[in-house]
Structure 1
Amino acid sequence: MFSKFPTRREFLKCGKLSLLFFLYSCSNLPNKVKIALQNSFYPESFKDTIPKDWKQEKINFENIQLQKNRNTIFNSDFTLINDGWISSIDFSEFEKINEYALFENLDKRSIDFLGSFDQNLRSKLFPIGVVPYTIIIKNNKELITSARTSWDFLLSEKLTGKIIFPQSPRIILSIAQKINSSNSLKKLKSQAMLFDDKNMLNWLINSDAIVAIVPYSLCSKYLKIDPRLSLVFPSQGVPLMWHFLLSRSNLNNAILMKWIKSLENKSIVDKLVSQGWFLPFNSDYLQSKYKTEMLPISGPSEKCWENSWSFPVLTNEQKINLKNIWNESLSP
């Protein structure tokens, strides 16, 4: 028992015991769940749904070969990735995820898309969002009517050198295939002002460009602050960008399922849709978002959704073929 005024030795002993107790307590706390994601791909409304006690780790798939980026993914419980970067991931590092009961919540669109992947990839990919590309038109109301029908309007003479395209030959080729014209790819590329994925909207706003083709989730805030911009989804369909969740651990299944289920809250669904993010689940309320026009900004019509297309992983032969088609379109 300590005296009324403890000696220096007794005080130090008490301090050591307190420190040991603190370290023991910390060692028994569960590790924080970590989720790796490339920040710029996700609207704020989606990032806000991630549980507050999870740690969001920033990655950049453009630097996927950097050791730091690989280490971040390796040390995270979950990783978010879009379909354009799937080939950059080592799937041997991830666990099967579609054996969860959550798989039953997926809608037909996402199940069909998963079916385009081989079994190893399919079992480790959980679709968590689909984002339609959209056409942004600046100060040209007369183009809107034709743009709502098909992609043919992109070959208009007034758009020569005035279009900002995604930096993806595959997306551009897929749009060219929808255009009713011979040599459509070569003609389409001749309309380009530039190809850019990062600053396309800044270029559109601050240059002579008239049209930009961008993911819906990246442009909603610009539409609210710049009245010159109009949003169009051709009824002919649009390219779709899919986002997937991957898991490195089976230890957090219950935590993961709780988060996924929370996304179906109606107020969350409404916020996500208002920023261009659609959940690929089969609940009636979620599916209604694919069938109506959203105000004040119009989203894709039901017909546009029906005609839209996705991009499964290319085989090596398909990659070579795509490269050859793209290069041939460069020749005079």
Structure 2
Amino acid sequence: MTPHFTGSTGLSRRRLLQLFGGAGLAALAGCGSTSAAPRLLAAKDGIPRPWREALPSPWRFLPTSSMDLWADAELEQPDLLALSDGWLDGIPADQLQALGAPPLQRRLDAKARAFLASLPTQRAAQVLPAGVSPWVMIARRREPWLGAARRSWDVLLDPALQQRIVLPASPRWVMNLADQLDGDDPLPRLRRQLLTLDDRQALNWLLKGEARLVVLPLQRCMPLLKRDPRLTAVLPQSGAPLHWTLLVRPAQTREPLPRAWVEQAWSEPMASSLLRQGWRPPLSRRELEPAGQSIPSRWRQLVLPDPEIWSRCWSLPPVPGSERNQLVQRWTQSAP
């Protein structure tokens, strides 16, 4: 899940700071849960359904559709949170505790280890990458620029796509992607291409014909891709940003991480089911290859791309507090 705003203009400075994790996030501290059953809080689409439904008793799943995950966490006081990496900067380190899961962390592949290495040491000990999904471009199959899309993200600057692109509602994400594009100062050029920033309704913009290209994590669009043969998804040869599903333990809980539940997601037969949904356990390709055989050939390069392409995929780095004002200023100055 990505922190959202509606549209691409009219954002207050305070709201931008919130989006960069600088202010306004509800604290997770407080008394422990009064419920006897431990609880996992996550966005409704935050974790794949088969894995969610395998949550062992007595654990309970608490879905949220709120745009402020932390407000829900403050209210519910859960024992475990599943969230995307886009939320991570906003939670103070003292509101989480170490996961205490060395056996799981030792199994992580190079991408997951690199993601953790980008975090401060204390934060890295508090986070378990549970799964990953690449951000992909979704469009109709007959678009003439799909060949360019398969090469790189530079297709986003194609004049034919002016004001027909929907990107995630995250200034940080858009700026990071702009930094991967060729040319001088691509951020203002990219923003002029946008119809809106709206990952919640991106597919609706595409289906209505108002957008020609939208960008979402593969796990979010795979169900529609399977149902609608008019649509296709593209992971460029140049690589893609990665959307991480993370598990964290709030500071107040005494409930240990349900390690067997995580191991179930990383093992057969669950791993095959999750891969088919566009959600990849953070394990080595060698470990995933047997499960990958169950993926239909037309999706395999999206879920398990060639190692060369996967090596070019990247995680968004954390945003130090000292840099948030600079990012707000850069975003404001790049407005069309």
Q: Same fold (TM over 0.5)?
A: yes
SS of alignment partner, residue 115 of structure 2: helix
Equivalence for 1:201:
203
Alpha-carbon distance in 2 for matches of 1:159, 1:237: 21
Alpha-carbon distance in 2 for matches of 1:229, 1:128: 28
SS of alignment partner, residue 270 of structure 1: helix
Residues 1:33 and 1:90: Cα distance change in structure 2 (over 3 Å):
same
Alpha-carbon distance in 1 for matches of 2:329, 2:296: 40
From 102, 105, 119, give the equivalent of 2:104: 102
Deviations, residues 4-29 of structure 1 (Å, cap 9, x unaligned): xxxxxxxxxxxxxxxxxxxxxxxxxx
How does 1:18-97 map onto structure 2 within 5 Å? 31-51=36-56, 53-60=58-65, 62-64=67-69, 66=71, 68-72=72-76, 74=77, 76-97=78-99
Report the alpha carbon displacement of residue 121 of structure 1 after superposing the two structures with TM. 0.9
Unaligned runs of 5+ in 1: 1-29
Residues 1:291 and 1:280: Cα distance change in structure 2 (over 3 Å):
farther
How does 1:110-149 map onto structure 2 within 5 Å? 110-149=112-151
Alpha-carbon distance in 2 for matches of 1:291, 1:173: 36
From 315, 319, 336, give the equivalent of 1:314: 319
Query: AA paired with 1:86?
Result: L
Deviations, residues 293-321 of structure 1 (Å, cap 9, x unaligned): 85232414432211111123201222222
Alpha-carbon distance in 1 for matches of 2:94, 2:63: 21
Range that drifts further, 263-272 or 128-137: 263-272
Contact 1:233/1:301 (8 A) holds in 2: no
SS of alignment partner, residue 97 of structure 2: coil
Higher helix share: 1
Report the alpha carbon displacement of residue 98 of structure 1 after superposing the two structures with TM. 4.3
Equivalent pairs: percent with the same residue? Answer: 25
SS of alignment partner, residue 62 of structure 1: coil
Report the alpha carbon displacement of residue 287 of structure 1 after superposing the two structures with TM. 6.2
SS of alignment partner, residue 87 of structure 2: helix
Alpha-carbon distance in 2 for matches of 1:206, 1:61: 25
Alpha-carbon distance in 1 for matches of 2:92, 2:85: 14
Equivalence for 2:259:
257
Range that drifts further, 305-314 or 30-39: 30-39
How does 1:271-286 map onto structure 2 within 5 Å? 271-282=273-284, 284-286=286-288
Alpha-carbon distance in 2 for matches of 1:301, 1:79: 32
Report the alpha carbon displacement of residue 157 of structure 1 after superposing the two structures with TM. 1.8
Alpha-carbon distance in 2 for matches of 1:292, 1:237: 23
Q: Find the structure with the greater CA-based Rg.
A: 1
Alpha-carbon distance in 1 for matches of 2:282, 2:230: 32
Report the alpha carbon displacement of residue 197 of structure 1 after superposing the two structures with TM. 1.7
Alpha-carbon distance in 2 for matches of 1:234, 1:226: 21
SS of alignment partner, residue 314 of structure 1: coil
Alpha-carbon distance in 1 for matches of 2:204, 2:180: 27
Equivalence for 1:172:
174
SS of alignment partner, residue 305 of structure 1: helix
Deviations, residues 121-155 of structure 1 (Å, cap 9, x unaligned): 11111110111100001253422211111112222
Equivalence for 2:330:
325
Contact 1:45/1:275 (8 A) holds in 2: no
Query: AA paired with 2:286?
Result: D
Report the alpha carbon displacement of residue 43 of structure 1 after superposing the two structures with TM. 2.8
Report the alpha carbon displacement of residue 189 of structure 1 after superposing the two structures with TM. 1.0
Contact 1:292/1:302 (8 A) holds in 2: no
Equivalence for 1:19:
none
Alpha-carbon distance in 2 for matches of 1:160, 1:290: 37
Report the alpha carbon displacement of residue 85 of structure 1 after superposing the two structures with TM. 0.8
Alpha-carbon distance in 1 for matches of 2:209, 2:294: 34
SS of alignment partner, residue 57 of structure 1: strand
Alpha-carbon distance in 2 for matches of 1:46, 1:217: 13
Residues 1:102 and 1:194: Cα distance change in structure 2 (over 3 Å):
same
Equivalence for 2:154:
152
Deviations, residues 186-225 of structure 1 (Å, cap 9, x unaligned): 1111111111021100111013311001111110111112
User: Per chain length, whose mean CA-contact separation is higher, i.e. which structure has more relative contact order (CA < 8 Å, sep 6+)?
Assistant: 2
TM-score, normalized by length of structure 1?
0.81
Report the alpha carbon displacement of residue 231 of structure 1 after superposing the two structures with TM. 0.8
Query: AA paired with 1:41?
Result: G
Alpha-carbon distance in 2 for matches of 1:252, 1:283: 29
From 245, 248, 263, give the equivalent of 1:246: 248
Residues 1:197 and 1:326: Cα distance change in structure 2 (over 3 Å):
same
Alpha-carbon distance in 2 for matches of 1:229, 1:296: 12
Residues 1:126 and 1:172: Cα distance change in structure 2 (over 3 Å):
same
